Chain A
Amino acid sequence: MAEQANPIISIRGLTKTYKGGHQALKGIDLDIQQGEILALLGPNGAGKTTLISTICGLVKPSTGSVTVGGYDIVTDYRKTRHLIGLVPQELTLGAFDLVADTVRFSRGLFGLPPNEEKIDEILTDLSLMDKKDAMVNRLSGGMKRRVLIAKALAHEPRVLFLDEPTAGVDVELRKDMWKLVEKLRQSGVTIILTTHYIEEAEEIADRVGVISDGKLLVIDEKSNLMDTLGKKQLMVDLRTPITQLPSQLSEFDLVLSMDGHRLTYTFDTQGEQTGITALLQAVSEAGLGLKDLNTSQSSLEDIFVNLVHKEQ
């Protein structure tokens, strides 16, 4: 996805310093394209929620600007907020409300006239129809999460923010949720989710941004990110174990396993020369018999851990 002319969300030089002096955002620049799924990764306290809260209007930006659909979030807040649906991290629901009531309330709050069909459609999508008249505080955590999503979708937003959507969620709901996210994406809804579970980003996101200490360390398409920052490893299993590396192999970056059966070679996929051919040649020159060859690619998790570590 190359830079398009009109991103749905455009963030420029955004900073946020809380009253206590804590600087949660240290100059974020980010364009989010219409219809993409963007995952924001980062450790706890990285500034993910602050970033989302600022775009949604819960937190006042200190400096910088944000536009949603071309409108400024401060001066044109009615227009921008109408475009946005937010599913918060915490399970915050009025304890004594009925499911349908609280979803209707959300729709009204965002300025739309009542529409029972739409409410039913949303509840059906989230498998909540049979809980329509249930009291919210009688629901399980997973069900409450669904209600929060239903509320966020009640006004048919163009952008959906999911703040840690799968915290404390079972496998079934996770699957349902990704199905829904896919369905929403197909209808053109832009989805931004924060998470510290990397598998989540790996599973559904088009682009991944890594936030740490209030800064956006990197943002790229998932596949690019894995290509550029990922490392590959070649595992060479030996027929007979060795106790130390033969001299022919000393110039390679190799790790010998404890039992002497396996050599692990780490290489950069972006490098001019991976060195694999030379390595294999050297192995045969050293007279070592090969039993098996394996390669593995680092996951998004490794990339993420690397990035955040480097930063700290």
Chain B
Amino acid sequence: MNTEAVKAIYFNEMRRTRKTLMQSIASPVISTVLYFVVFGSAIGSRIQSVEGVDYGSFIVPGLIMLSLLTQSISNASFGIFFPKFTGTIYEIMSAPISFFEILIGFVGAAATKSLIIGVIILLTASFFVELRIAHPFWMMTFLILTCISFSLFGFIIGLWADNFEKLQLIPLLVITPLVFLGGSFYSVSMLPEFWQKVTLLNPVLYLISGFRWSFFEVSDVSVMASFITIMGFLALCLVIVGVMFKTGYKLKQ
């Protein structure tokens, strides 16, 4: 194992974050604050509570998930796409490093960034609403698993994309709708019965539900279902990456 190389990629990516601190860390925080102002205060003041939880608090897990998913994907996809775009990937491809090590470096860095963002949003939220975390262990488990699996997913997108449009395609057309329709801002029980059933097909619902449960012990689906979903997604991403690795997908001619 070329640990020096993994470290080099990891810290190189983290250095990139530090240099684009405003964009990487501040922007998700600002957007979260905006959500709180709009949904928490303006609209939330007219909603008493959801499932016994104050609405302002209720949306916190969903907001964190919203940022986590989009940030993990964009960080990891951009991290591997950019060297491909500029051509600097030649160096990584000619280095004594395996695909798996490249993966750990890039995905590890992207997941770390997302985790930091998640924690910052959590802290930011605690200034606005009273937060109670019933199951800290499960909260961290969901947080970390989500960061890793969606960073992995972002890495796959970054490898697959050969232009900027493709890079944005899945996050915009698939992930954002799934997150908004996955109960970030509401409980599924608030929907008409037909749409409740449709929503149950949305995997993101399971992530948000499980994560919310770790805070307030209220959930739309069982915690086990949430856990299986995130583990299943992680496994799926690993399989895809494994296939890409075998074929040298789009990296080697």
| Interface residue ranges, A against B (CB under 8 Å) | 18-19, 56-60, 77-82, 84, 86, 88, 90, 92-96, 101, 104-113, 151
* Pick from B2, B15, B94: contact of A57, CB under 8 Å: B94
Query: Knowing A108-B5, A112-B4 touch, does A92 contact B248 (C-beta < 8 A)?
Result: no
* Pick from A56, A77, A81, A92: contact of B88, CB under 8 Å: A92
* Pick from B7, B16, B83, B248: contact of A108, CB under 8 Å: B7
Q: How far is the CA of A84 from the CA of B96 in the complex (A)?
A: 10
B88 touches A109 (CB 8 A): no
B248 touches A60 (CB 8 A): yes
Q: 8 Å CB contacts to A: which residues of B1-24?
A: 2, 4-5, 7-9, 11-12, 15-16, 19
B2 touches A111 (CB 8 A): yes
Listed A/B pairs (24) with beta-carbon separation below 8 Å: A18-B253, A58-B93, A58-B252, A59-B253, A78-B97, A79-B96, A84-B94, A86-B90, A90-B87, A92-B86, A94-B83, A101-B12, A105-B12, A109-B4, A109-B5, A109-B8, A109-B91, A110-B4, A110-B5, A110-B95, A111-B2, A111-B4, A111-B96, A111-B97
Q: How many A-B residue pairs have CB under 8 A?
A: 78
The answer to whether B243 has its CB under 8 Å from any CB of chain A is no
Q: 8 Å CB contacts to A: which residues of B84-126?
A: 86-88, 90-97
Minimum Cβ distance to chain B for residue A73 (Å):
11
Minimum Cβ distance to chain B for residue A43 (Å):
21
B8 contacts which chain A residues (CB < 8 A)?
Answer: 104-105, 107-109
A56 contacts which chain B residues (CB < 8 A)?
Answer: 94
Query: Knowing A59-B253, A108-B8, A112-B4 touch, does A94 contact B86 (C-beta < 8 A)?
Result: yes
B95 touches A81 (CB 8 A): yes
| Known contacts A58-B253, A86-B94, A105-B12; 17 further A-B pairs (Cβ under 8 A) | A58-B90, A59-B252, A77-B96, A81-B96, A86-B90, A92-B88, A92-B90, A94-B86, A96-B16, A101-B12, A104-B8, A109-B91, A110-B4, A111-B2, A111-B95, A111-B97, A112-B4
Q: How far is the CA of A88 from the CA of B91 in the complex (A)?
A: 9
Residue among A56, A59, A94, A113 with max Cβ neighbours from chain B (10 Å): A94
Query: Knowing A93-B88, A111-B5 touch, does A81 contact B253 (C-beta < 8 A)?
Result: no
Residue of B nearest to A83 (CB): B96
Q: How far is the CA of A78 from the CA of B98 in the complex (A)?
A: 8
A113 touches B90 (CB 8 A): no
Minimum Cβ distance to chain B for residue A215 (Å):
20
A106 touches B93 (CB 8 A): no
* Pick from A59, A90, A109: contact of B95, CB under 8 Å: A109
Query: Knowing A18-B253, A60-B252 touch, does A109 contact B9 (C-beta < 8 A)?
Result: yes
B253 touches A78 (CB 8 A): no
Residue of B nearest to A101 (CB): B15
A108 contacts which chain B residues (CB < 8 A)?
Answer: 4-5, 7-8, 11
B94 contacts which chain A residues (CB < 8 A)?
Answer: 56-58, 81, 84, 86
A109 contacts which chain B residues (CB < 8 A)?
Answer: 4-5, 8-9, 91-92, 95, 97
Query: Knowing A19-B253, A60-B248 touch, does A151 contact B96 (C-beta < 8 A)?
Result: no
A82 contacts which chain B residues (CB < 8 A)?
Answer: 96
Residue among A57, A107, A113 with max Cβ neighbours from chain B (10 Å): A57
Residue among B15, B91, B248 with max Cβ neighbours from chain A (10 Å): B91
Q: How far is the CA of A56 from the CA of B90 in the complex (A)?
A: 10
Residue of A nearest to B92 (CB): A109
Q: How far is the CA of A79 from the CA of B5 in the complex (A)?
A: 14
B16 contacts which chain A residues (CB < 8 A)?
Answer: 96
